[in-house]
Amino acid sequence: MASLMAGEQGTGLHVAIIMDGNGRWATRRGLPRVAGHRAGVAAVRRVVERALDAGIGRLTLYAFSSDNWRRPASEVQSIFWLLRAFLRLEAERLRQRSVRLRVIGRRDRLTQPALRAIEKAESVTADGSRLQLYVAIDYSSRDAITRAAAAVTENLLNRRPASADLLGSLLAHTLAANGGEVDLLIRTGGEKRLSDFLLWESAYAELLFVDCMWPDFSGSDLDAALEEFSRRQRRFGALPNPRENHVPVATHG
């Protein structure tokens, strides 16, 4: 498992999680949906702890998609209240564990209190080096790619020197800012779709869809996911290497 945990970029395995199923978890118990989100935060704490124990280098959690604005205002408010509470209450604990937290996604539509909580948590944890924790808020992968492409266009219109692979390098920059290539993408809640999450970064990710609702996802479920990942043969379009599980160089095809 040790070599697998290094990930493809040598900066630690990158695990990304679509935390789905909070609402159904609550509804099945006769509880309001917000109770599912609250239980979802507890699952986030458990999974971060286990990610540290397991030696995962990068963990990206999909907390609020740009399409989630379409939910009732009361649910949106509850999710942001929980997010702010998490950032406020957990930042110090994360710092002590050498976890660096960063938020990815748009910031121009967030409230001032949410922005302040994000900036504070990012600055408190800025020196963390054991685990890079990315929380996606108001995140849309298409939007991130479109913005990178728009930056290229602006560059060209302004007749700044442009190299042929400027788009590639801008997208690579977007990638780097978001934790880079995903090695393992997990979605809980039984649905099998990507929902506009890290589309570019997951080009060669191993995908794992599990039926468990997010609030029930435990440290041992993460262990089981890593076990499953270790059994996958990653080829990146090349032919299987009879002696190695991993093909070292990513080629396309």
| Beta strand 14-18 pairing with 184-187 | parallel
User: Exactly one of 80, 86, 134, 139 binds ligand FPP (CB under 6 A); which one?
Assistant: 86
Map residues 63-82 to x or -, x wherever contact with ligand FPP holds by CB under 6 A: x----x----------x--x
Residue 9 to residue 179: CA distance in whole angstroms: 10
Q: Does 225 bind ligand FPP (CB under 6 A)?
A: no
Cβ proximity to ligand FPP: between 56 and 135 the closer is: 135
Q: Does 44 bind ligand FPP (CB under 6 A)?
A: yes
Determine the interface stretch with ligand FPP among 19-27, 91-99, 177-185, 222-230 (rule: CB under 6 A): 19-27
Q: Which two tokens stand for residue 76?
A: 């949106």
Examine the residue annotation and report whether 68 is marked as an active-site residue of this protein. Answer: yes
Map residues 124-163 to x or -, x wherever contact with ligand FPP holds by CB under 6 A: -----------x----------------------------
Q: Does 83 bind ligand FPP (CB under 6 A)?
A: yes
Examine the residue annotation and report whether 196 is marked as an active-site residue of this protein. Answer: no
User: Exactly one of 7, 23, 57, 128 binds ligand FPP (CB under 6 A); which one?
Assistant: 23
Q: Does 40 bind ligand FPP (CB under 6 A)?
A: yes
Q: Does 21 bind ligand FPP (CB under 6 A)?
A: yes
Q: Does 17 bind ligand FPP (CB under 6 A)?
A: no
Residues contacting residue 167 through CB under 8 Å, at least 6 positions apart: 148, 149, 152
Q: How many residues does the chain have?
A: 253
Q: Does 105 bind ligand FPP (CB under 6 A)?
A: no
Map residues 180-209 to x or -, x wherever contact with ligand FPP holds by CB under 6 A: ---------x--------------------
Residues that bind ligand FPP (CB under 6 A): 19-24, 37, 40-41, 44, 61, 63, 68, 79, 82-83, 86, 135, 189
